[in-house]
Amino acid sequence: MKKRGVTHRIVVLSIALLSVQLPHGAYAQQMSPVGVHVTSQSLIEDLSAPLGVATSGTARPLTPITLLMIKDFEGWAALHYDDPAGYCTIGYGHLISLKRCMHTPLGKFANQLSLGEGNELLEFDTRSARRTVQQLVSTELTDDQYGALASFVFNIGKRKFAESTMLALLNMKEFDAASKEFRRWIKAKGEVLDGLVDRRKCEEALFNKVLRLDKEGKFNRNMCQSFGAAPSENLIDIEIGEQLKGVK
């Protein structure tokens, strides 16, 4: 995984190891999925202490292109592994626990996960983020706008979205200004990450209705149109968020 603004490259997921439980209780080490994966802040919130704002009600479904986009950025692993933060994970970024797999009772996740099971987990995992968008955004959203925001909230977390400039702008119907907020949320642990830059670019493209699948009907993050970069002094770390002090 490459970090922008840093002269060296750090490969995280391509060298991280996952633990696969063997029949006799031993653990074999295998490579985790190759790609950029930042733990869903929404799932961390859900495992730590569920937010009341998102625990009830029906979640609006996501469009196929939104699901393909989220799957691409979350990555897929049929077997459990420890993500870069040291959290036991499986499927499309599903958090089994906030501990390493070797310290986690795996239960049904001790075995390989099917794609169907992974899809069901992702639908469940994104519900609280989707409900948060529905409950906090007071203006009407298109399916694409809703999908972009659901992906965004799933990644950065519900509390941070609730305190964001983006939400304030959305509720003032300042959609153009709100869409530019995506590109600010591209840091994690104090560094700008390429994976977050790409994800924000695709979410902004989806929000603005210009995201398309390729000729084979597949999602390709390289096809996401860029709307420009945010000033470097205004970037936000998704693990910290921002404190809303009013919108100018």
Give the catalytic positions in this structure.
74, 83
Residues 6+ apart with CB under 8 A from 217: none
What are the distances in angstroms from CA 218 to CA 67, 72, 113, 209, 226? 11, 10, 22, 17, 19
Distance CA 32, CA 122 (A): 19
What are the distances in angstroms from CA 215 to CA 218, 219, 220, 238? 7, 10, 10, 33
| Cβ atoms of 220 and 214 closer than 8 Å | yes
Distance CA 122, CA 116 (A): 10
- Among the listed residues 155, 147, 179, the one whose alpha carbon sits nearest the alpha carbon of residue 66: 147
Instruction: Classify 232 as helix, strand or coil.
Output: helix
